[in-house]
Chain A
Amino acid sequence: MGKIEWARWANENAIASSCVVIMGGILAVSGQFELWQVGVYSIIMGVLMILLEYPRGRRQKGTSPERKFQFPLSVVVSKGRLLTRSYLVRFIVYLIISVPCCFILPTLLGAVCYMTTGCIYLAAGISGEEWTPIGREPMQQGPTVFEEIRRPPPRGPVQEGTDTKNKL
C-alpha cells in the first residue's frame, strides 16, 4: 500500500465535516434561536471550505485521480501559493474557523469535526506533505513517419463455435 499520505484522508474528512457544518448552519438559521447568525457564518464557511478542498492535490506516489470538474477550482486554489499549499496553514485555519461554531448548539458538532480535520492536516504538515495541483499534460505529438506499419492485424469478432485456426 505504501506510505500513508494523511492529506488524502484529511481532504475527504474536510468535505464530510463541511457538510456537517453546513447542515448545522441550516438548522440554526431555520430554528431562529439565540445567536442564529452564527448559522449564517457556518453555511458560508462550509461552502468556502468545500470549494477549497474540492480540487484534489497531486499524490506523491502513483496516480492522482481528479474529482469531476475540479480543474477551474484547482487553478484558483493554486493561486493562493503558500496559504493553500501548506497543510500546516490549513490546520491553523480549521482551528480558527471552528471557534465561532462552538458558541451555538447546532454547529457544535461541526466545530468538533473541523478540529479533527485540522488535526489530520497537522499530521500531514508534519510529514512534509504539500498541496500541488494536478497538472494537465499537453498532448504529445508523435513523429510523422512515412509508410511505417502501425497497426497489427485487427482481430475481427470471432464466430464462437468455428475454428479459429488459420487455413494455411
Chain B
Amino acid sequence: MVDWITNEAPKWIVVGTWLILNTIIFAVTFVSYRDADEYYYLRVLVGDSLCWARASAACLNFNVMLILFPVCRKLISFIRGSCGCCPRVLRRQLDKNITYHRYFAYMICFQTAIHVGAHCFNFERLAAAKRVTEENLVNYLSRLPLTPNGTWINPIRVADPDPTREVVKTVAGITGIIITLCLVLMVSSSTEIIKRSYYEVFWFTHHIFIIFFIGFVIHGAQMIIHHQSNLSAHPLPKCAENPKGWGSSECAIPEFEGSMPRSWIWLLVPAIIYCIERIARLVSGLQKVVILKVVSHPSGVFELQMQKKGFHAAPGQYILIQCPKVSYLEWHPFTLTSAPNDDYFSVHIRREGDWTNAVAELCHVDEGEFQETWKMPKLYVDGPFGTATEDVFAYDVSVLIGCGIGITPFASVLKSVWYKFCHPKETVPLQRVYLYWVCPDTHSFEWLQGLLLDLERQMRQRGTVDFLKFHIYLTRGWNANQARNITLHDEGSEYDVVTGLHHKTYFGRPQWEVVFKQLAETHKGQSTGVFFCGPKPLSTTLHKLCNRLSNFADKTKFYYNKESF
C-alpha cells in the first residue's frame, strides 16, 4: 500500500500553504485595484493591466521577502539543532531548503513576467492616451494638470511620446530593466550544468542579488502610479461623466498623488537576518584552525586532520574551507570524515582542480616526510552545516546508500555509529545498519576500504557481526584477468578478492527493487531510515521505492532522506 504520507505530505503541506498565500495576495491586490475609486481614472487610462501589474508586484514583494531565508545556513543549522517538538518532520523540511529557495525563485520569475508584461501594456496605453485628439475623458485626463499647482495622472508628460524612450526616462523603468537582467543572469548561471561544472561562475554571479535587492527597493521611488486624493470633492463615478464640468462646486478638478514605495518594508527583516548570517559566517570562519596531521592516501587523496576551538560537528555534516594563500574568495565544501567522538576533525580531499592541487602543495603532501606545524598554510573553516545523516540513530534500521563520491559522508556516520554501539551512554532505537556502496571502482577510496576493514575486524572481535553489514557494488566491470582471478579464488576464500573484506563484493548495479523488498520482509513493522547521497535519477528511484514499500498495515515505514550540498 502506498504510504505516501510518510515521505511526501509535509513538503506538500508547506508548498500548498505557500501557493495558497500567493493566490490570496494576488487576488486581494487585484480586486482592490480593480474596484478602488481612487484608481478609477488610472483604470480609464490603462485598463486592467494596472491590476495585473500591482497584483504581481505584491506577490513579488512576498516572494523576495521569503527567498533569503532558505539560504541562511547557520540559522537553519541552529533551528535544526534546537527544535524539540516534531523534530524529525521539521528537520527533514529544513533539509530541503535549497528546493524551497528554487521554488521561490521560479515564482519570482513567473510574477516578473506578468509584471513586465502588464507594465508594457500600461506604458503603451499611457502613450496612446497622450496622442488622443478627440475631446473625451482620456484626453482630459492626459492633459492634466490644467493649473501650475495641479497634479497629473498620466506620468508621460510629452506630446507625442515614444513608450520606449519614456520608460528609460523613469527610475522605475531603468531599475526594472537592470533588475530583470540581473534575474536572467542569476537564473542562467544556476542551471545544473553550470553549478556542477563551474561552481565559481554560479557563486559569483549569484551575488548579483545585491544589485537586484537595491534596484528592487528603489524601483518605486519615483512614485509614478498616482491615485486620486480628493474623492470627497470629486465623487465618482458621477463626475467622470462630465469632464467639461470639472472645476465647479459639485466636481472639483481631480487631484492626484503618488503612493510611498512599500517594498523596503517587506525586505527589511530578511535583509537584516541575512546580514547577521553573513557576519556570523565571517566571524566563525576567521577563528584559528590548526592542522594537526596531513595524511597522504593513494590515488591523489590527502587527509587533513584539524582542530578549531569550539568546533562541534554531528555525523555527516560538511564544512567550507578557505585557504587565503590560494584564493581569498573561494570557499570549498568538504564532507567531514571524522566522527564527533574524535578529538580532531578531518576531511579527505581529492586532488582534482587548481584549488585542491594548490592546497596539497602548500601542505607538502608530496614530500612524504614529517613537516612541522608552522610550515602548514593558514586555513579558515566555516560550519559545520547540517545534513540529513544526523538522524541515523532515530530509526530502528538505517540504510546508507552512497554512489561514487557520495559515500564520503557515511564514513563519518559509520565511525560515529560504531562508537555509540561500543560505548552506549543511552539507548538508541538503532539496531542494524546497512551500507550500500555503489562505485565504478574503489580507486581513490582506498582510505574508506581501510575503515571498513577496521570495522569488520572490530565486529568479529566483539562477536557482533550482524550490526553493520556492507554491500559493495563495483559497476565498472572487469577484464578477463580479473574475472579469471576472481573465479579461481572466490569459492574457497573467506575474504573477498577485491577488497579483502569478509563481505563479498558484488559486480554490476544493485537491483534496488529486490534489495528493498528483502529489507521490508526482514524488518517488518520497524521504521527504516534510508539515507542516500548520489545522482538524482537514482534518488528518484529510491524515493519511489520507499513510498511504495512503506506499509500502513504492519507499520513498516521507509523514511527517505537525501543528502546534498
Contacts and interface: CB of A to CB of B under 8 A. Distances in A.
Interface string A22-56: 01100100010100000000000000000000000
B287 interface: no
A109 B486 contact: no
A27 B120 contact: yes
Interface residues of B, number: 60
A4 B483 CA distance: 41
Contacts of B434: 160
A20 B197 contact: no
Contact of A151 (B180, B200, B483, B506): B483
Interface in B478-504: 478, 480, 482-484, 486-487, 490-494, 502-504
A98 interface: no
Interface in B499-549: 502-508, 511, 514-515, 518-519, 521-522
Nearest to A65: B193
Given A112-B177, A166-B494, A105 B163 contact: yes
B515 A157 contact: yes
A74 interface: no
A153 B508 CA distance: 11
B181 A165 contact: no
B128 interface: yes
B123 A9 contact: no
B197 A16 contact: no
B184 A20 contact: yes
Given A105-B167, A166-B492, A16 B187 contact: yes
B17 interface: no
B426 interface: no
Contacts of A137: none
A165 B496 CA distance: 10
Contact of B507 (A20, A106, A154): A154
B201 A105 contact: no
A129 to B, nearest CB: 13
A113 B490 CA distance: 62
Nearest to B471: A158
A58 interface: no
B487 A149 contact: yes
A160 B478 CA distance: 27
A104 interface: yes
Contacts of B471: 158
Nearest to A36: B124
Contacts of B164: 102-105, 108
A17 B503 CA distance: 54
A5 B188 CA distance: 14
A77 to B, nearest CB: 18
A90 interface: no
A103 B168 CA distance: 12
B120 A106 contact: yes
Contact of A8 (B181, B194, B354, B521): B194
A1 B518 contact: no
Contact of A12 (B121, B188, B355, B493): B188
Interface string A108-119: 110011001000
A106 B49 CA distance: 14
Contacts of B10: none
A33 B494 contact: no
Contacts of A164: 502-504
A9 B469 CA distance: 44
Contact of B200 (A1, A20, A150, A166): A1
A59 B197 CA distance: 10
Interface in B427-482: 434, 466, 469, 471, 478, 480, 482
Interface in B179-221: 180-181, 184-185, 187-189, 191, 193-194, 197-201
B198 A9 contact: yes
B193 A8 contact: yes
A21 B160 CA distance: 26
B177 A33 contact: no
B480 A31 contact: no
Contacts of B116: 109
Identify which of B163, B471, B484, B486 gathers the most chain A CB atoms within 10 Å of its CB: B163
Nearest to A155: B506
Given A105-B163, A152-B482, A165-B502, A157 B514 contact: yes
A160 B189 contact: no
Given A152-B487, A161-B466, 16 more contacts: A4-B201, A8-B198, A12-B191, A16-B187, A31-B120, A31-B121, A33-B163, A108-B177, A112-B177, A113-B181, A152-B486, A153-B490, A153-B491, A158-B471, A159-B518, A160-B521
Interface of B: 113, 116-117, 120-121, 123-124, 128, 163-164, 167, 177, 180-181, 184-185, 187-189, 191, 193-194, 197-201, 353-355, 434, 466, 469, 471, 478, 480, 482-484, 486-487, 490-494, 502-508, 511, 514-515, 518-519, 521-522
Q: Which 4 A-B pairs have the closest CB atoms?
A: A13-B188, A152-B486, A155-B506, A33-B124
